[in-house]
Amino acid sequence: MYHLFGGNEIRPEGWLLRQLRMQADGLCGNLDRIWPDIRDSAWIGGGREGWERVPYWLDGFIPLAYLLEDGDMKRRADLYIGAILDRQQADGWICPCGPKERKTYDVWAHFLIGKVLALYCTFTDSARAKEGLYRSMQCLDRMLRAGEITLFDWGKFRWFECLIPIGFLYEDCREEWLLELARMLRDQGADYPSYIESWKRPMNQWTFHTHVVNLAMMLKYEAVCCSLFGETYRNRAEELWQVLEEYNGTAVGTFTGDECLSGIANNQGTELCGVVELMYSCELLFAATGDCVWARRLERIAFNALPAALSDDMWTHQYDQMVNQIACIRFPGKPIFRTNGADSHLFGLEPNFGCCTANFGQGWPKLAMNAFLRADDGVVCSMLPARLHTVIGDTRVCIAAKSEYPFRFSCKYVVRVQKPVRFALKIRIPEWAKECRVDGRPVELTGFYTIEKEWSGEEAVSVCCTDAPRLVKQRSGLWSAEYGPLVFALPVRAQYRKLEYEQDGVERRFPYCDYELLPQSEWRYGFDGGPLTVYLQEGDEIPFSSVCPSVTLKAGLCPVEWEFADGYDSVCAKMPVSASAAGRAEEMQLYPYGCAKLRMTEMPFAGRDEGME
Ligand SMILES: [Zn+2]
């Protein structure tokens, strides 16, 4: 339906550019310098991890380098891709393992490096990378067909990821064997709808079919199959989403999963890989189906759950984030998490496990790559600050979206064309908008506002949406505040305790150390039922600043009685003891969820009338 623009046609601007620059100056932009599993990976001839970590990292690092037009980062990406291709075997096998280990090597990494090579080609048009990818898929095809390797574990549960590089090659060469390979993967791969029942009740057990990252990824399986095989799309993704959301949904549009589904629980974790993979699936589903529901879901996750798990300087991240998160400390005893370790919600280098360390980097760059999409009749626009340089027909077109969205709700599109050309500018109207005006005139609040006409010279279109802050009832029965696409939370003041140490040959040293966050202010509150008011200020250089957010809400909050979760002194119970106000309401400031590293997001309605009973 819609397609990504070419690798170098979109440039981030405004806060999005600053966010990407911070990512480049933080952990993602420096992993090849400081983290042994990237610096000394078997993928480039070293002795460390030779499976998913380098490809995961490149999946974010490559688009980051090209979106920022950063010469040094591009050179480092080239070095890795070059070193990987140098080691490709004569028969096309591309992963770093000897011939005898191939049978037991989980081919998920093979799919992932395929995705990375396809992505690299969209930015560089590298003939060598494309040929390497082609040969690697030929090898996979031959070995699967001969039964020399099979899908198991991650490869079995992530089979559809390989259809992305297969689709990239097929687009180019239209060779039938690629479709056969894709069918073989589908036949050997996991059939997710058959697991639906197991998503309805959390298990205290680790399984592939309730794994939150697998489930975030799998939502796109039907869409990638349909675009490759030309089959009719039946919207299985929506059915699967509905079940996941009903039984595991959170206030910020993700599913609980630490790292397997954890039910409706505001004090359980969601793995960061699950956040970025869910974003990627939503991006792909919006482009494949044109259904705005996926763009809405994408924004909810991107503007809330993603920044929440990343520190202001983007040097540290959480493995698991909680919606109501009153402390991030190493659990002295059994962690609250169902299947993750004691340090999973620390902000650090590789809390719990290093997958998110390598993988989180794809979140912001891929969002930027989706700021504009190509439609048959024109251009689909989000309100993200970015600039598009493309060619329509044979005419050079530049569209600049000037905005501070989602911190402000207006956007000015400046369209500049080399000579008069007809195309449609399809502006997506956010679903939360109470009103939307285009060039001052109210427009219908449905999906897209399309301006189809002959554009000439330089023209501007301004879009202005309005919303009123509101309380939204969550599945727990508690409430959270929302304004536009942002969810708001009561920030709990945090004391950062720095932890520097070395473990298994991996050094944690500032700025890539670990931090425990200890609560320094009261967290037991409920909404008093009074109005929420919006407070706008300049903000600092950090878009989702934990110190100075550019938009906050003022709310009346009453103290309520609320205990810790049973057996813990650093986790709040899912529900307060009572929703009755235990004191007078105070006016307090709510921060965007992504800015409040310690926070209470879901709170009861401690209505004024019920207070002091
Ligand atoms: Zn992870």
CA distances from 265 to 59, 246, 269 (A): 31, 12, 9
Cα–Cα dist 343/464, whole Å? 43
**Do 28 and 57 contact (CB within 8 A), yes or no?**
yes
CA-based R_g, the chain, Å? 24
What phi and psi, each to the nearest 5 degrees, are found at residue 188? -85, -15
- C-alpha 24/C-alpha 73 separation (Å) is 8
Cα separation, 477 vs 474, in Å, equals 5
Compute the distance between CA of residue 585 and CA of residue 583 in angstroms, rounded to an integer: 7
Contact criterion met (CB below 8 Å) for 600 and 324: yes
* DSSP symbol at 235: -
How many whole angstroms from 57 Cα to the centroid of ligand 1? 12
Distance between CA 112 and CA 54 in Å, rounded?
Answer: 10
- Buried b / exposed e across 398-428, counting CB within 10 Å, b at 16+? bbbbbbbbbbebbbebebbbeeebebbbbbb
Cα separations in angstroms, 252 against 303, 371, 485, 586: 9, 21, 10, 26
The Å distance, Cα 575 to ligand 1 centre, comes to 28
CA of 227 to the centre of ligand 1 (A): 28
Report CA(459)–ligand 1 centroid distance (Å): 44
Distance (Å) from CA 317 to ligand 1 centroid: 11
**560 CA distance to ligand 1 middle (Å):** 35
Distance 355 CA to ligand 1 centre (A): 4
pLDDT at 446: 85
DSSP-derived secondary structure letter, 450: E
Ligand 1 centroid, distance to 442 Cα (angstroms): 44
How confident is the chain (613 residues) per 10-residue block, as mean pLDDT? 95 98 98 98 98 98 98 98 98 97 98 98 98 98 98 98 98 98 98 98 94 98 97 97 98 96 97 98 98 98 98 98 98 94 97 98 98 98 98 98 98 98 97 97 95 98 98 97 98 98 96 98 96 96 98 97 97 96 96 98 78 35
Which amino acid would we find at residue 523? W
What is the 559 CA–ligand 1 centroid distance (Å)? Answer: 36
Q: What is the pLDDT of residue 609?
A: 45
Question: Virtual CA dihedral for 541, 547, 549, 554, nearest 10 degrees?
Answer: -160
What is the 169 CA–ligand 1 centroid distance (Å)? 28
| Non-local CB neighbours of 150 within 8 Å, separated by 6+ positions | 144, 188
Calpha distance 318→26 (Å, rounded): 15
**Distance from C-alpha of 15 to C-alpha of 470, rounded to nearest angstrom:** 25
Ligand 1 midpoint to CA 78 (Å)? 25
Distance 326 CA to ligand 1 centre (A): 22
Q: How far is the CA of 123 from the centre of ligand 1 (A)?
A: 26
Ligand 1 centre distance from Cα of residue 356 (Å) = 3
Q: What is the DSSP string of 45-110?
A: TSSB--SSHHHHHHHHHHHHHHHTT-HHHHHHHHHHHHHHHHT--TTS--SSS-GGGGGGS-THHH
Angle at the Cα of 350 (from 346 to 354), degrees rounded to 5? Answer: 135
